[in-house]
Each structure stands twice: as C-alpha cells, then as structure tokens.
Amino acid sequence: MKVAFVNNGTESLGVGYLAAFLKKQGHTVKVFNDPQLFSDEYINNKHLNRIFSFQKQLINDVINFSPDLIGFSVLTDYYEWACYLAAELKKRLARPIIFGGIHPTSVPEEVLKNNFVDMVCIGEGELALLDVVEKLEKSSWPYNVLNIWTKDGQKIIKNKIRPLIDDLGKLPYPDKTVFYEVSPYFKTAYFTIASRGCLYKCSYCCHSYLREIYPETCYYRIRSVENLIGELECYRVKDKYKVIRFVDDIFPSDKKWLSEFSKVYSKRIGVPFICYIHPSVAREEQILLLKKSGACEIVIGVQTLFENTQKEVLNRQINIDNWERTILCLKEHKIFVTAENMIGIPGQCIDEIKELVKFYCRNKVGRIHVNWLRYYPKTKITDKFGQGMQGIRKRDIKPFTLGGDVFNEELNKMRVIFALINFLPNKLICFILRSNVYKYLPSFPLVFINIFSNLKSGAASNKITRKREFLRYYTYIKKKKIIDSVLF
C-alpha cells in the first residue's frame, strides 16, 4: 500500500513514527510538504503567500504518486489549511482521507462533518493506522478498527480507544528520511523525544483532555536510555548535528533515569541539547545532571506569577519562589534560560503583566517568549472560559504566536517591553511601567519583535530557527522560480 502524508512545513515526529511503523510492515510512505511561505507562525502576509504558494504543485505531486491512502496530522492552528488541501485532493483523487493529530482527537464529530474526511484517528496512531492500511489492502473498509471513527452513510461509527503503547521501545525509531528527502531545511537540527505524555494537566494544554480519554493507563511514559541513544546513533547525530532538540512537553526528571542518561549520553553522543523542564521538579541535582549530559539551553514555562491565576485558571500547583531558585541555579551552571509566558489569560490585568516584567528585571534570562492564549478544543480552560469556542471556527485562525483568540492592543505593546528588558537599564524599564509610557509605543508585528529580542540572544534554539527559516525560504523561493520558468 502507498500512503501519502500531507505536511504543513514543520517536521512532525508523529508522522515520522507512523512512517517508520508502516514501512516496517512493507508499505510505501511519502511526505508531501507545503512550506507555507509567508503563512507561518512568524510571518503572515496573504498577498505574498499567494505569490509563493506551492499548494497546486503539492496537489499535482500527490496525484502523480497515486496513493492508496492520504493522511493529515492536524493541529488546530492549521486545521483550515488541512481542510482546504483535503477538499482539493478529494475533488481530483478518489482516495480515502484520514485526519489524525490533536485537533481531530479533540473534536472528531466536527471533523467528520466534512465530506472530504473519511476517517479520524483518535489518540496514538501507529497500531490504528496499520490496521486501517491492512483493511484497505484487503478491499475492506475499517469500520471496526480501534481508535478509528468513520462514516457509514450519515452515521458515524465510533470505535473504542485502545490502550496506550506502554513500552515505547517496541516502536521503531522515527523515520527521518521521509522529511530529509523533501528539503534540506529539515536537517538544520535533530528533533526527537525521550517520552510521551506529560506529568501535569495544565488547563490550557491538550494533556488536560487527553488524560480523560486514557484514564486507566500509564499516561506518561519514558523511553529507556539505551533505546533513545540507539536512535541517536542510528542517525549518526554525533557526526552530523551541532545541536539536538528534545521536544518532550517535559523532559524526564526521574533521578535514576537522568543519572544513567547523563553518563551514557555524554560518552556516546556528547552533542549539546535543548529541552523543556518544569520548575516543580527542577532540583539542583537534576539540573547538574542535565548540565553534565550536555544541556546548553533549557526552556521553562512561567506563564504568570500570580499564584491565584496559576492555581484557579491554569491548574498549575507551583510555588512562585521556585522560579527564582530555578533560574538562578540554571544560570549558575551556565545553562541558557528561555522563559515562556502567556498573556490574555482570563482575569489577567495589566498590573499582573507589569509584575512579570519586574520579575525579569530582577531575574534576567537569556530569552523571553510571550505568547497569546489560544482556546484549544476540549481543554479545561476552554470548558470554563472559552464561551462556545469548543467547535471549529471557519475563519482566519492565527497561531498563538500571532494573536491567538484574545488579541489586545495594550497587551501587545507590553510585548515590546519584554523584548527591551535585556537592552535597557532596569530603572528605565520601571519608569516606563510607572508612567505608562508603553501605551505610546508602536504595536510592532511579531516578526520585528522576535528579530529585535533575538539580537542579543545566544540561544541555540535561535540559531536553529534562523538557519531553518532561511533555508526554508531560500530553498522554496529558488524552487518557485525554476517551476515558473518551466511553466511559463
């Protein structure tokens, strides 16, 4: 069987695992990439996006490949993009289309209302997708496959959810070649995970809902150190990459696992890496092990300093004093600190944002991210405050980096202050806050704020992003000129 995955411009580890799982069983898998130039999380310009669109070429390439099944891994931010391409493909190619990923998992009935979507995969997809492919190979429709919702006329067939894969070592390593053969910009850094799931249930995150559909299984699972190192050695990461990015929602903090990882990773891999940690588990012992392993940058999710907002709105049980200790400890061990924050939280006032600015004046970090709240379907914060945003909105959905659901002009100007913290004296920042001078600042687009705030940043993740984005635009603009010269 031939399976085509339509990709939204970023490397999807989920698709990599699915491709590896299917290939192991003898199936053919190919990724078709839409680079989404001028329509991404940094730049959004409809006119330029139309000029440099690759969607027609992508559709033709999929048709020429003649797949037996077409798959989309769908995030909420790119749901409309997926719907457009799926609809266009359905018009020209009579092949079943399956949507998977967090958005279809959250609102499967809404997604199946689209006549161009034949199936939805809920939750983990390796075993389910293999069952679907094997059914189709036998000319049978997958009406009774666990994790799969499909249609029989107007009726939706809702199959039960199978347990999570408890031993991640049973899975093949994610297939990177399906992305690397598409474009060189996918090779700018090595992305992987050491775990699946999360220890926490923050109200704004998909894990607050996913834990409900997997109530009786071990939700947070960690790969063995040997399995993880085996993957990195398989792809010769030590020889080919200057940095590794672990994209786990939270990097494993178990002391026994970290101790083994530190010894083995530093000896056999030794490549600097970036990961996310939670301050509630960021003890000095763990931080020291991460440093010995090779951690060069650690991302922490601060979001807000107000304990009531943390507890009552975000469902985060955090002692705010931990933030300062964690940041200080990371800096003492010479680990670059990136802090993520959120604006537009229900009940969040301007004074709360000002306190956050003052906190970073006292506790300087390498880089400060400030993102907008998005009401993602089925998350607890959407249940409580989303005001009917559970469904699917047919509109110009902006990523949380560009405005989310709660854009506010005054708050957007405060983002400029966050970008200035590492450039201006603390006294001047405090004066700007006291006198409300920030209100008279221009409301710069995100791309300019990012460029300015990154000028002084030595973050490894910044270097990755700059190189990746340059290659993405350079490669595809050059390709666009070649295609246009041939056609016209």
Residue 345 has pLDDT above 60, yes or no: yes
pLDDT confidence bin for 483, thresholds 50/70/90: low
**Rounded to an integer, what distance in angstroms lies between the CA atom of residue 280 and that of residue 103?**
29
CATH number at residue 51: 3.40.50.280
pLDDT confidence bin for 411, thresholds 50/70/90: confident
pTM of whole model > 0.85? yes
**Is there a single domain that holds both residue 134 and residue 196?**
no
pLDDT confidence bin for 395, thresholds 50/70/90: very low
User: How many domains, the chain?
Assistant: 2
CA distances from 44 to 36, 40, 283, 392, 401 (A): 10, 6, 40, 21, 11
Give tens-digit pLDDT for 310-331: 999 999 987 778 888 999 999 9
- Identify which has the larger pLDDT, 408 or 132: 132
**Is there a single domain that holds both residue 195 and residue 146?**
no
User: Of 158, 177, 198, which residue constitutes the final position of a domain?
Assistant: 158
Residue 426 has pLDDT above 80, yes or no: yes
**Is there a single domain that holds both residue 392 and residue 267?**
yes
**Is there a single domain that holds both residue 131 and residue 270?**
no
CATH number at residue 242: 3.20.20.70
Tokens in use for 104? Answer: 């279809």
- Identify which has the larger pLDDT, 165 or 39: 165
CA distances from 135 to 69, 288, 430 (A): 11, 50, 64
**Rounded to an integer, what distance in angstroms lies between the CA atom of residue 488 and that of residue 396?**
32
Residue 405 has pLDDT above 60, yes or no: yes
**Is there a single domain that holds both residue 260 and residue 375?**
yes
pLDDT at 402: 57
- Identify which has the larger pLDDT, 232 or 483: 232
> To the nearest whole number, what is the mean pLDDT of the chain?
90
**Is there a single domain that holds both residue 97 and residue 209?**
no
Strand partners, 462: none
Domain that holds residue 387: 189-456
**Is there a single domain that holds both residue 17 and residue 83?**
yes
Give mean pLDDT, residues 287-300. Answer: 95
Any domain includes 163:
no
What end-to-end distance do the CA atoms of the chain give, in Å? 36
Is residue 13 within 8 Å of 193, Cβ to Cβ?
A: yes
pLDDT at 485: 55
**Is there a single domain that holds both residue 299 and residue 358?**
yes
Any domain includes 468:
no
Maximum mean pLDDT: which of 220-229, 370-379, 406-415, 423-432: 220-229
Any domain includes 212:
yes
Tokens in use for 212? Answer: 């409900």
Residue 389 has pLDDT above 80, yes or no: no
pLDDT confidence bin for 465, thresholds 50/70/90: confident
User: Of 138, 158, 178, which residue constitutes the final position of a domain?
Assistant: 158
Any domain includes 484:
no
Any domain includes 464:
no
Give mean pLDDT, residues 454-479. Answer: 80
**Is there a single domain that holds both residue 251 and residue 335?**
yes
Any domain includes 384:
yes
**Is there a single domain that holds both residue 359 and residue 421?**
yes
pLDDT confidence bin for 394, thresholds 50/70/90: very low
pLDDT at 215: 84
pLDDT at 446: 57
Any domain includes 53:
yes
Give mean pLDDT, residues 326-351. Answer: 92
Residue 22 has pLDDT above 80, yes or no: yes
Which residue from 407, 394, 434 is spatially nearest to 343, judged by alpha carbons? 407
> What three-state secondary structure class fits 259?
helix
**Is there a single domain that holds both residue 25 and residue 75?**
yes
Please, which residues have CB within 8 angstroms of residue 400's CB and are 6 or more apart in sequence? 77, 371, 372, 373, 374
Give mean pLDDT, residues 124-131. Answer: 98
**Is there a single domain that holds both residue 269 and residue 227?**
yes
């998977």: which residue's tokens? 100
Residue 458 has pLDDT above 70, yes or no: no
Question: What's the one-letter identity of residue 169?
Answer: G
Any domain includes 480:
no
Give mean pLDDT, residues 350-367. Answer: 93
